[in-house]
Amino acid sequence: MIDRDLVKRALAEDLDGGEDITSVATVSGTERVIAEFVARRDGVIAGLDMARAVLEEVGLTDISIFVKDGDRVSAGKVLMSVRGDTRAILLAERTALNFLGHLSGIATLTSVWVSAVAGTSCKIRDTRKTTPGMRLLEKYAVRMGGGTNHRMSLSDAALIKDNHIAAAGGVQEAFLRVRTQFPKAEIEIEVDNLDQLAEVLPLKPDLILLDNMNPALCRKAVEMVAGKCKLEASGGITLESAKEFAATGVDYLAIGALTHSAPVLDIGLDLRAE
C-alpha cells in the first residue's frame, strides 16, 4: 500500500523548505553507495511499498526488495537495498525508516495479540485510534500482522455508544433513527451490562460491543445472545488476559493498542561502498 501524497509531505517536512545541510557539506554529490535496510530485531514486516516510494521520490530507482509485507523476519535480515547517489539515500533514510519501522511495529504487535488467542475462533480487531492521516496504512499493517479491521470511517457503519444513546433519548430511539435514515448500514451497539444487552437484543443489531465486561460477564453474554449476532469485547483486555476473553466465545477483541501504542520495530540502514 502506498500513499504518495503522504510521502511528499513527510519529505517536505524533513527539509522544511531548505536542504540537507549535513549531507551537502560532507558528501561531494558524486558518490554512489549501496544501502541495505536491515531488521535489528525479530518482527513482522509492513510498509515496504512506502519505503520504496520514499526512495523513488528522491530519484532513486535501483531498488531491490527481498521480503514481503506480512513476512516474519529475524534480526539481521536484509529487507531491501538501494543503489545510487549517496546524498539522495541519506535524504530518504529517516523518512523511509519512519514509515517502515512504524508500520512493521504495528504488524509485529498485532501478531503477538493474534498468537495470544490462537486455538480460539476469536479475531483480533483494531479501532479508529489511529494516527491522523495514516489510518489506511496503519489498518493495512494490522492485516499484515494477522488482525482484522473494524470500520475504516464513521461513514462505513454505525456504532451506537452511550453518548449517542443519551443524545437520542434511549437505545431504542437511537437504533430506530439510524435504521430509518441508513437502512443498509451495519449497526453495532455498545452495552456495559447484561441488562442493557437484554434490552438491545430484540432490536437485532448486527454486532454488540461488550464494553469493559470481565470474562465471566462476556461468557454470560455469549450464552444470552446464542448466536443471534456477533459480539465484540473491548476495554480492560491485556495480552495476559486475551486468551481468557477469547475463550468466552466472543467473536472479536477490539484492541486500540494495535495502532496507538505499538512500539516501532527497530530497522536500520547500513551503507557500503558500491
Point out the residues that are catalytic: 94, 129, 161, 190, 211
The label of the residue with cell 558500491 reads 274
Q: Are 89 and 48 contacting, i.e. CB atoms less than 8 angstroms apart?
A: no
Q: Determine the residue type at 207.
A: L
